[in-house]
Amino acid sequence: MTDRYCVFGHPVGHSRSPAIHAAFAEQTGEAIDYTAIEAPLDDFAGAWRDFVAAGGRGANVTVPFKEDAYRLCDALSPRARRAGAVNTLILADDGGTRGDTTDGLGLVGDLRRHGVALAGARVLVLGAGGAVRGVLEPLLEAGPARLQIANRTAAKARALAADFADLGDVSGGGFDAVEGPFDLVINGTSASLGGELPPLPDALFAPGATAYDMMYGAEPTVFLRWAEACGARGIDGLGMLVGQAAESFYLWRGKRPDVAPVLEALRQAL
């Protein structure tokens, strides 16, 4: 019998997750059926229960349901509990629901594939929403010299920094409080979707710095175009997407797929 998995979102028709997991399944010889399901905004838990009743074994969760997924879990991984959000649901043998988050692992893995050194680095993270919260623990565990969070609402950035202060030298504030230079600047805001830039100084990047945008597209985002004009190397978030999917696949199937060929095929298809 083929095990069923899905990605929940709203909207979700644009998701590349079904293609990614179909490629992982073919690569590893796993028989799975993976679809995209648009869950109702007011009943995510019901959508998950219906999916399980129909034979579902696990799911990825994208916006706007990651906090809903967190709340419905019977058990959480330590990193999911720390993040306060879940992007991977796993149906346990006892019928309970386990939750995990793989976004941070996907980001750190992609940075390492590109040869970005995190240990001892000066890191700036833009944004203080769920996308950022989910990646802070793996980033801090990689041992940066310091990590600064900048957000339009300074209080939100300061509160987020306080939540992770036990893991390293982390601070938070408004965009006007940013003090560079930085070796790595990660854009975790949604500004790129609207073709906008956070209000940041041009003198932000250290020599040889890297700019990473969690968003991706066929062309570089406005954030990456600006960063490259400032002399930084730009990387988009497609590798993070494939990397977090690979970690979810491993949690479900116990096999770790090779990200590189899947990432290359997706890049060609953009």
Region of 115 (left: φ > 0; alpha: ψ -120 to 50; beta: rest) is left
Annotated catalytic residue: which of 4, 21, 57, 66? 66
Residues 144-175 pLDDT 10s? 999 999 999 999 999 999 999 999 999 999 99
Q: What count of Cα atoms within 13 Å lies in the side-chain half-sphere of residue 243?
A: 20
Report how far residue 221's alpha carbon sits from residue 214's, in angstroms, rounded to the nearest whole number.
10
On the question of pLDDT at 6 being above 90, the answer is yes
193, pLDDT greater than 80: no
pLDDT in tens, 94-152: 999 999 999 999 999 999 999 999 999 999 999 998 889 999 999 999 999 999 999 99
pLDDT on residue 179: 86
**In this prediction, what percent of the chain has a pLDDT beyond 90?**
90
Tell me if the pTM is above 0.75: yes
Annotated catalytic residue 66: yes
- Give all domains of the chain, ordered by start, each with its CATH number: 3-101 (3.40.50.10860), 104-239 (3.40.50.720)
Annotated binding-site ranges for shikimate: 15-17, 62, 87, 103, 216, 244
Round the average pLDDT of the chain to a whole number and report it: 95
| pLDDT higher at 39 or 195 | 39
pLDDT above 70 as % of the chain? 100
The DSSP result for 35-64, as a single string, is EEEE--TT-HHHHHHHHHHTTEEEEEE-TT
